[in-house]
C-alpha cells in the first residue's frame, strides 16, 4: 500500500497524492469487513490492480478508478453519483464502466443467461466509449486469475472459462499480448490441467534441446549486425503454453513442427534497421519459404507490427526470428495501453484510429441486434473469436471470423456494398459467394446498381452475426413497399365504406395538415404507417373528410356570394341505418342490443340472436356462446353492419409480454399514440419473467383494432397479443 503511494507520488507529484489517499480511504471504507477468498482483506485486490496499472504507465484517472473499481458493486450505498461528487466525472464513469449492470440496477427478474449478456453489452459499450475501461477490466481479471487458487473448483471453472472466452480475446483485440498470454495460460491450467501439464513438459524438453542451438545463433547474429553498424538487442522468447497447445491442435502438428516454440527477438532502433537486419540475417541463414511476414508494412488489425521470418539452423532446426523497434515491442506487449506510455510518441493516431474502428463495429452491432443476446453473440463471434486476415484490393487488412465468405467481407466494408454484392473475386479469380475465405486472400466485391439487393438465402451463407443482422434489417425495411401498398388500399377501403372517393379527398391542401400533424415527410410515409399499423386509417380519413367538408362549405359560400342563381342541391344520403349501426334483414323493427360476452365491432362478422322479449342481441359469429346455441338456429337472424357505422365499442385484449419495467410503458405509449385510452388494465406476473396484461379500451371498428394489435405485436417486449372475451 505504501509502495503504491510512493510510486504514485513519484509519477504524478506530491500535489496529487491527496487524491490517491482519498480514494484509498474511500475504498477501504467501502470494503470494510470484506475478505477475499484467500481471507486477505478485500482492499488488497483493488490496490494490486491499481499498482499494476500504475506500473504499466496508465494515467491518473485510470489508477484512481482502479482503486475504486469494486466499490459500486461490493460497497453499500456507493453510487456513480457519489463517486462523481468525490472524485470527478472521469473517474466515476470509468468505475461505472467496469461495474456490472445487475449490481447497480438491482434487477432480479432476468435469467442468468440474459443477465450475462446484459452485463457484457454494458461492458462492450463502456469500452467503446472509453477504452481505458477494458484496461482496468483486464488488470482486474488478471489479478483474480492469479489468485484463483483460493476459490472453490466450480467457481474456478466458471471464471477460467469466461476468461478464455471473453477476456483473453479482448486483450488480444486490443493488442495486449502480455496480459493475453498470462490469462490464457492461467485459464488453460484450470480448465484442462492434464493437457496443460503435458504441453508444458513437452515445451520444456524441446526448449532445453533448442536453447543451445539458439544461443550460438544469437551470438553469431549479434556479431554480424554490429559489423554492419546495426545496433540490436537480442533475446530468446519462449512461446506461451496455451498457444503451443492451440497450434498443435489446429494443424494436428507435432511439437517439432511448431517452429516458433522459441523465437529470437531482435530489437533495433528504427524501421529501416528492421529491414536492414533482415537482409543481413537472410544472407547468413537460409529462410524457410513461405514463412516471411511483413507486419510492419501491413500491421495486424490489433496494431501488432514486426517482421517475422523462419530460418534453418546449421544443424537443421528451424527457428523463428522477430524483428521490431522498441516501440513496436511495447505495442506488442501492452497494445492499446502503450498509448499512455508513449503520450508524446507517434503511435497516438494509430491507436485512436483502431479505437474508432472497434467503436464503429460495436455501435453498429448494437444498432442491428434485436436484443442483448444477439449483440454480445455478434461481438464475441465476429470480433473476439478465431479469425482470418483478408485484404481489399487496396491492401487494407480485415479480420473476419474463420468460415467467413466474400459476403461477410462485403458487409464488413460497408452495409451498402454488402446489400449490392453480385459477384466476388478472390486473388483475381471469380468465386462463389459461399467461398470460405483464407488468410491472405485478396477479396474484390463486384456490386450491382442502386436497385440491387440481398437475397434471402444469403442468411444461410454468411458467417458473421453482423452480416446476418444487416440482411434481416434490409428485408424488414423492404417491407416498406408492401406497407405502402397495403396502407393505400386500407385507406381506399375505408373511404369506400364512407361512400367517399379517395381521389377527391387526397388534395394537397387537405393532406398537408395531416402529414404535419403526424410528422410524415411524404404521403408514402403516411401509407406506410397505416400499412404497418402505426396509425388507424379511420383517423386519417376523418381528418381528410373534415378538411374536405370545410373546404366545400367555403366554396359553396363563395359561390352563393358571387352568383345569384340557386345553389345545386347537395345529394342527401338516404340511409336506413338502425340506431346501433345494424342492418337487420327481414324485420327492421326489432330492438337491438350488443352482447357483453364478445363485444362485436363494426367489421366483425356478426349474427343476431332473438331473445325472448328483449329483441335481437348481437354476437360475433365466432362467439362461443352463440355456437353453443346452434340447435336453436331458428332464432338466429341474418344481420350486418351498416356501411358507415361508427361509435365507441369496448374490446378486451390480452398481451403476453416480457416482464420488464419498460414493457407496460412501451405498450401504453403505443396506445396513447393511437389515441386509445385504456379503461381497464390488469397485470399478472408469470413464471420465467413473463407477464400477462389484460386490458380494455374502446375502438371504432374491427379494422382499427386489427391495426392496434399489429402495432402491439411489433413491439420487442410483446411476445403475443390477441383479443379476448370478457
Indicate which single residue of 140, 330, 382, 659 sits in contact with Mn ion (rule: CB under 5 A): 140
For residue 322, report the phi and psi dihedrals to the nearest 5 degrees. Answer: -115, 125
Alpha-carbon distance of 259 to 254, in angstroms, equals 10
Stretch that binds Mn ion, among 139-147, 175-183, 211-219, 508-516 (CB under 5 A): 139-147
Nearer to Mn ion among residue 50 and residue 598 (C-beta): 50
Residues 548-577 that bind Mn ion (CB under 5 A): none
Which CB, 66 or 708, lies closer to Mn ion? 66
Q: Is 39 a catalytic residue?
A: no
Does position 136 interact with Mn ion (CB under 5 A)? The reply is no
Instruction: Please identify, using beta-carbon distances, which residue of 70 and 703 lies nearer to Mn ion.
Output: 70
Angle between helices 465-497 and 406-413 (to 10 degrees): 70
Nearer to Mn ion, 149 or 551 (CB): 149
Q: Which residues of 184-218 are buried (b: 16+ CB within 10 A; e: fewer)?
A: bbbbbbbbeeeebeebbebbeebeeebeebbeebb
Of the candidate residues 70, 382, 399, 604, the single one contacting Mn ion (CB under 5 A)? 70
Q: How far is the CB of 141 from Mn ion (least distance, A)?
A: 8
| Interacting span for Mn ion (CB under 5 A) from 133-141, 406-414, 583-591, 682-690 | 133-141
Shortest distance (Å) from residue 11 CB to Mn ion:
22
How many residues touch Mn ion under the rule CB under 5 A: the total is 2
Residue 601, helix vs strand vs coil: coil
Min dist. Cβ of residue 70 to Mn ion (A): 4
Pick the piece of the chain touching Mn ion (CB under 5 A) from 63-71, 124-132, 487-495, 524-532: 63-71
Q: What is the DSSP string of 201-236?
A: HHHHHHHHHHHHHHHHHHHHHHHHHHHTT--EEEEE
- What the block records as the C-alpha cell of 650 is 369496448
Binding segment toward Mn ion, per CB under 5 A, in 135-143, 275-283, 490-498, 507-515: 135-143
Provide the grid cell at 180.
Answer: 493475453
- Quote the distance between the C-alpha of residue 690 and its chain's center: 23
Cell 391495426 identifies what position?
Answer: 707
**Interaction between residue 327 and Mn ion (CB under 5 A):** no
Active-site hit among 9, 44, 59, 74 = 74
Alpha helical stretches, state H, 41-152: 44-56, 60-67, 71-74, 80-87, 89-98, 101-105, 112-129, 132-146
Q: Is 599 left (phi over 0), alpha (psi -120 to 50) or beta?
A: left
Q: How far is the CB of 118 from Mn ion (least distance, A)?
A: 19
Identify which of residues 130 and 140 has a Cβ nearer to Mn ion in the complex: 140
Q: What is the C-alpha separation between 373 and 118, in angstroms, rounded? A: 8
Instruction: Provide the terminal-to-terminal Cα distance of the chain, rounded to the nearest Å.
Output: 69
CB of 172 to Mn ion, least distance (A): 21
Backbone angles phi, psi at 641, to 5 degrees: -75, 145
CB of 385 to Mn ion, least distance (A): 26
Nearer to Mn ion, 70 or 382 (CB): 70
The one segment of 65-73, 89-97, 375-383, 685-693 that binds Mn ion by CB under 5 A: 65-73
State the minimum distance, in angstroms, from the CB of residue 140 to Mn ion.
4
CA dihedral sign, ordered 676, 681, 685, 686: negative
Instruction: Determine, following the binding rule CB under 5 A, whether residue 139 of this chain makes contact with Mn ion.
Output: no
Of the pair 49, 391, the CB lying nearest Mn ion is at 49
3-state secondary structure 544-597: HHHHHHHHHHHHHHHHHHHCCCCCCCCCCCCCCCCCCCEEECCCCCCCEEECCC
For the window 618-657, what string marks contact with Mn ion as x by the rule CB under 5 A? ----------------------------------------
Query: Residue with the closest Cβ to Mn ion?
Result: 140
Q: Which is the catalytic residue, given 28, 44, 73, 513? A: 73
Return the number of other C-beta atoms located less than 10 Å from residue 156's C-beta.
Answer: 18
Name the one residue in this structure whose C-alpha cell is 484510429: 353
482 is catalytic: no
Pairing of strands 387-391, 441-447: parallel
**Minimum CB separation from Mn ion for residue 36, in Å?**
10
Catalytic residues: 73-74
Binding residues for Mn ion (CB under 5 A): 70, 140
Amino acid at each position: 500500500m505504501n509502495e503504491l503511494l510512493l510510486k504514485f507520488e513519484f509519477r504524478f507529484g506530491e500535489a496529487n497524492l491527496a487524491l490517491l489517499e482519498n480514494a484509498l480511504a474511500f475504498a477501504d471504507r467501502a470494503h470494510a469487513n470484506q475478505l477475499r477468498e484467500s481471507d486477505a482483506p478485500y482492499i488488497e485486490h483493488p490496490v494490486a490492480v491499481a499498482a499494476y496499472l500504475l506500473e504499466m504507465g496508465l494515467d491518473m484517472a485510470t489508477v484512481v478508478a482502479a482503486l475504486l473499481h469494486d466499490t459500486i458493486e461490493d460497497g453499500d450505498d456507493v453510487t456513480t453519483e457519489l463517486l462523481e461528487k468525490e472524485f470527478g466525472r472521469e473517474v466515476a464513469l470509468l468505475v461505472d464502466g467496469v461495474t456490472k449492470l445487475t449490481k447497480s440496477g438491482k434487477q432480479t427478474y432476468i435469467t442468468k443467461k440474459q443477465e450475462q449478456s446484459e452485463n457484457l453489452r454494458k461492458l462492450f459499450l463502456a469500452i467503446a466509449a472509453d477504452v481505458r475501461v477494458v484496461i482496468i477490466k483486464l488488470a482486474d481479471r488478471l489479478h483474480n486469475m492469479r489468485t484463483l487458487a483460493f476459490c472453490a473448483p466450480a467457481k474456478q471453472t466458471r471464471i477460467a472459462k469466461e476468461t478464455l472466452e471473453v477476456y483473453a480475446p479482448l486483450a488480444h483485440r486490443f493488442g495486449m499480448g502480455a496480459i493475453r498470454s498470462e490469462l490464457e495460460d492461467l485459464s488453460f491450467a484450470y480448465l484442462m490441467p492434464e493437457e496443460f501439464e503435458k504441453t508444458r513438459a513437452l515445451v520444456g524438453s524441446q526448449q532445453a534441446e533448442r536453447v543451445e542451438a539458439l544461443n550460438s545463433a544469437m551470438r553469431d547474429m549479434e556479431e554480424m549486425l554490429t559489423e554492419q553498424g546495426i545496433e540490436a538487442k537480442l533475446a530468446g522468447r519462449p512461446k506461451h503454453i496455451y498457444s503451443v497447445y492451440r497450434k498443435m491442435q489446429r494443424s494436428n502438428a507435432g511439437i517439432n513442427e511448431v517452429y516458433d516454440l522459441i523465437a529470437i527477438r531482435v530489437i533495433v532502433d528504427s524501421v529501416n534497421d528492421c529491414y536492414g537486419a533482415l537482409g543481413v540475417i537472410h544472407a547468413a541463414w537460409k529462410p524457410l519459404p513461405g514463412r516471411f511476414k511483413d507486419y510492419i508494412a501491413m500491421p495486424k488489425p490489433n496494431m501488432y507490427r514486426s517482421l517475422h521470418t523462419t530460418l534453418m539452423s546449421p544443424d537443421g532446426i528451424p527457428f523463428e526470428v522477430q524483428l521490431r523497434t522498441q516501440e513496436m515491442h511495447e505495442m506488442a506487449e501492452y497494445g492499446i495501453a502503450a498509448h499512455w506510455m508513449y503520450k508524446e510518441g507517434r503511435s497516438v493516431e494509430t491507436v485512436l484510429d483502431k479505437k474508432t474502428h472497434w467503436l464503429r463495429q460495436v455501435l453498429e452491432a448494437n444498432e442491428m441486434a434485436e436484443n442483448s443476446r444477439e449483440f454480445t453473440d455478434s461481438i464475441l463471434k465476429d470480433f473476439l473469436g478465431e479469425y482470418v486476415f483478408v485484404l481489399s484490393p487496396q491492401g487494407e487488412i480485415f479480420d473476419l471470423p474463420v468460415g467467413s465468405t466474400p459476403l461477410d467481407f462485403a458487409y464488413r466494408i460497408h452495409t451498402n456494398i454488402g446489400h449490392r454484392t453480385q459477384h466476388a473475386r478472390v486473388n483475381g479469380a471469380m468465386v462463389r459467394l459461399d467461398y470460405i475465405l483464407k488468410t491472405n486472400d485478396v477479396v474484390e466485391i463486384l456490386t450491382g446498381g442502386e436497385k440491387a439487393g440481398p437475397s434471402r438465402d444469403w442468411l444461410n451463407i454468411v458467417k458473421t452475426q453482423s452480416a446476418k443482422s444487416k440482411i434481416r434489417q434490409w428485408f424488414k425495411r423492404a417491407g416498406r413497399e408492401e406497407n405502402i401498398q397495403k396502407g393505400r388500399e386500407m385507406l381506399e377501403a375505408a373511404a369506400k365504406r364512407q361512400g367517399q372517393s379517395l381521389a377527391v379527398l387526397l388534395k394537397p391542401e387537405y393532406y398537408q395538415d395531416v402529414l404535419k400533424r403526424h410528422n410524415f415527410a411524404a404521403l408514402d410515409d403516411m401509407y406506410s404507417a397505416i400499412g404497418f399499423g402505426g396509425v388507424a386509417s379511420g383517423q386519417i380519413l376523418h381528418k381528410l373528410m373534415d378538411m374536405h367538408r370545410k373546404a366545400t362549405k367555403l366554396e359553396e359560400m363563395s359561390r352563393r356570394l358571387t352568383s345569384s342563381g340557386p345553389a345545386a342541391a347537395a345529394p342527401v344520403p338516404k340511409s336506413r341505418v338502425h340506431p346501433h349501426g345494424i342492418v337487420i334483414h327481414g324485420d327492421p323493427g326489432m330492438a337491438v342490443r350488443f352482447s357483453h360476452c364478445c363485444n362485436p365491432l363494426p367489421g366483425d362478422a356478426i349474427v343476431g340472436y332473438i331473445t325472448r322479449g328483449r329483441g335481437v342481441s348481437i354476437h360475433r359469429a365466432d362467439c362461443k356462446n352463440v355456437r353453443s346455441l346452434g340447435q336453436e338456429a331458428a332464432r338466429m337472424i341474418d344481420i350486418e353492419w351498416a356501411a358507415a357505422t361508427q361509435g365507441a365499442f369496448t374490446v378486451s385484449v390480452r398481451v403476453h409480454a416480457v416482464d420488464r419495467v419498460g414493457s407496460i410503458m412501451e405498450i401504453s405509449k403505443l396506445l396513447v399514440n393511437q389515441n386509445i385510452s385504456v379503461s381497464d388494465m390488469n397485470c399478472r406476473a408469470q413464471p420465467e419473467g413473463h407477464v400477462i396484461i389484460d386490458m380494455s379500451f374502446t375502438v371504432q371498428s374491427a379494422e382499427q383494432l386489427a391495426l392496434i394489435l399489429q402495432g402491439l405485436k411489433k413491439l420487442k417486449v410483446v411476445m403475443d397479443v390477441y383479443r379476448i372475451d370478457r
